[in-house]
């Protein structure tokens, strides 16, 4: 029964999400192998601030580096940090919610809920800044920042849903059949919880990407010359009066990502509301 619920409700949106992740990871590698893009980190001072369509499709930045190449390569550190953080937050949120939200949960099983409540009392951006300042610059610091930003909300929301699901007739039926607590959690509650996990995770995708880009803009992301969308905006801002393209195109890429995440979340929500029908 549980597997059928997952297949019915998540088939199309999950497939699209996997395709997007695969393209994000493999796209720059494939374009490099085909020698379509220029080196995103090698300066070419004789080509500084070339406008779009003047030797380069999207122009060059203040060091003569190809903007198109840097935007494409910037998807990996930007989206990979956000996606890894979301994945880790979802796993922690599901495990903590199942442990704390089940009626038979003991005192120590509610520890994740108490920690989540404490983190929700702090401004998420401040927590991220402190974490990155302590761990230093780098992609793993960004991943941890996303986890601490997203996990408390997932934990709190999913825990309430676990409590609601625990009162449903199918759980009572499972108990009557002699299922133990662990089997009820994994085979009955978890499959019914996964659609909500997918929707909540996608709803937090935009927040996570914005957090990663903001930290990169503030100089707390991967160190130069690694391209990131936020870092590109920060590098191009001093030259904005004379050259708009090093700033505008990373912002366009970021906006497209945020729009896609919102559209995917809305599609998954509508599919769930429609009962999984095509």
Q: Are 94 and 185 in contact (CB under 8 A)?
A: no
How many Å apart are CA 60 and CA 159, to the nearest integer? 49
pLDDT of residue 4: 47
Cα–Cα distance between 63 and 83 in angstroms, integer?
30
Residue 1 has pLDDT above 50, yes or no: no
Residue 34 has pLDDT above 50, yes or no: no
Mean pLDDT of the 132-142 span: 80
* Class level of CATH domain 2-38+57-273: mainly alpha
Rounded CA separation 151/87 (Å): 10
CB of 144 closer than 8 Å to CB of 85: yes
Q: Give the tens place of pLDDT for each residue, 170-217.
A: 888 888 888 877 788 888 888 888 888 888 888 888 889 999 999 999
Mean pLDDT on 151-179:
86
pLDDT reported for residue 274: 67
Percent of the chain at pLDDT > 70 equals: 81
Is the pLDDT score of 16 beyond 70?
Answer: no
- The mean pLDDT of 111-125, rounded to a whole number, is 76
Per the model's pLDDT, the better-predicted residue between 62 and 264 turns out to be 62
Per residue in 230-251, pLDDT (tens digit) is 999 999 999 998 899 999 999 9
Higher pLDDT, 136 or 19: 136
If you average pLDDT over residues 126-153, what whole number do you get? 83
Identify which has the larger pLDDT, 106 or 142.
142
Average of per-residue pLDDT values in the chain: 80
Q: Are 84 and 205 in contact (CB under 8 A)?
A: no
Is pLDDT larger for residue 221 or for residue 106?
Answer: 221
Give the C-alpha separation, 21 to 31, whole Å: 16
Q: Please report, for the chain, the start and end positions of each structural domain, with discontinuous segments joined by +.
A: 2-38+57-273
pLDDT at 10: 47
- Of 157 and 22, the structure prediction assigns the larger pLDDT to 157
Return d(Cα 1, Cα 258) in angstroms, integer: 34
User: Quick one: DSSP state of residue 221?
Assistant: S
The answer to whether residue 27 scores a pLDDT higher than 70 is no
Using pLDDT thresholds of 50, 70 and 90, give the confidence band for residue 111: confident
């Amino acid at each position: 029964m549980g597997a059928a619920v997952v297949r019915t409700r998540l088939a199309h949106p999950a497939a699209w999400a996997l395709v997007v992740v695969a393209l994000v990871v493999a796209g720059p590698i494939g374009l490099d192998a085909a020698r379509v893009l220029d080196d995103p980190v090698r300066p070419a001072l004789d080509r500084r601030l070339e406008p779009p369509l003047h030797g380069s499709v999207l122009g060059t930045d203040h060091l003569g580096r190809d903007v198109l190449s840097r935007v494409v390569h910037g998807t990996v550190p930007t989206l990979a940090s956000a996606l890894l953080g979301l994945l880790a937050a979802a796993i922690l949120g599901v495990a903590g919610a199942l442990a704390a939200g089940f009626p038979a949960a003991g005192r120590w099983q509610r520890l994740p809920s108490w920690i989540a409540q404490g983190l929700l009392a702090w401004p998420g951006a401040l927590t991220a800044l402190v974490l990155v300042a302590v761990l230093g610059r780098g992609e793993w610091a960004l991943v941890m920042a996303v986890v601490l930003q997203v996990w408390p909300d997932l934990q709190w929301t999913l825990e309430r849903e676990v409590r609601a699901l625990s009162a449903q007739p199918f759980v009572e039926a499972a108990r009557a059949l002699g299922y133990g607590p662990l089997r009820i959690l994994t085979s009955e509650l978890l499959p019914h919880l996964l659609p909500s996990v997918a929707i909540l995770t996608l709803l937090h995708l935009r927040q996570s990407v914005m957090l990663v880009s903001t930290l990169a803009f503030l100089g707390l992301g991967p160190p130069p010359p690694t391209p990131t969308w936020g870092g590109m905006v920060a590098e191009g801002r001093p030259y904005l009066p004379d050259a708009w393209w090093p700033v505008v195109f990373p912002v366009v890429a970021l906006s497209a990502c945020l729009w896609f995440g919102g559209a995917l979340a809305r599609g998954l929500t509508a599919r769930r509301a429609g009962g999984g029908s095509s």
